[in-house]
Amino acid sequence: MEYDWEKNVDYDFIQEIAGYELPDGIALVGLALANIDNAEGCLIADNRWVGGDIAQMDIWKDIDGDAGAHYQRCLDASMAYYEKKGTQ
């Protein structure tokens, strides 16, 4: 999914960040962005990390798992909040 506000993102800046020197064996493969006003988010991938390589696929699946876990924690916290509010 692509939102209109993503068109305003400076992708050159993201490529600059993607080239930032990290410890050996560590790479920035993308950047997660949030539009706070619209409660929308996106993941901008460094295109060098999107291809048919099995290792890349494994890395993206790991990232997907982390994002899913964060989503689940937010959902659980929201459910607990509303359940508590309903008993007051």
Q: What is the DSSP letter of 43?
A: E
User: Which of 49 and 68 is assigned the larger pLDDT?
Assistant: 68
Report the pLDDT value the prediction gives residue 88, as an integer from 0 to 100: 67
The predicted pLDDT at position 14 comes to 72
Three-state secondary-structure class, residue 50: coil
DSSP 3-state of 51:
coil
Decide: pTM greater than 0.85. Answer: no
CB atoms within 10 A of CB 54: 7
Say what the pLDDT of residue 12 is. 79
- Greater confidence (20 vs 6) lies with 6
The model's confidence at residue 32, banded by pLDDT at 50, 70 and 90, is very high
d(CA 73, CA 19): 31
pLDDT digits (tens, 9 = 90+) for 40-61: 999 988 888 898 899 999 999 9
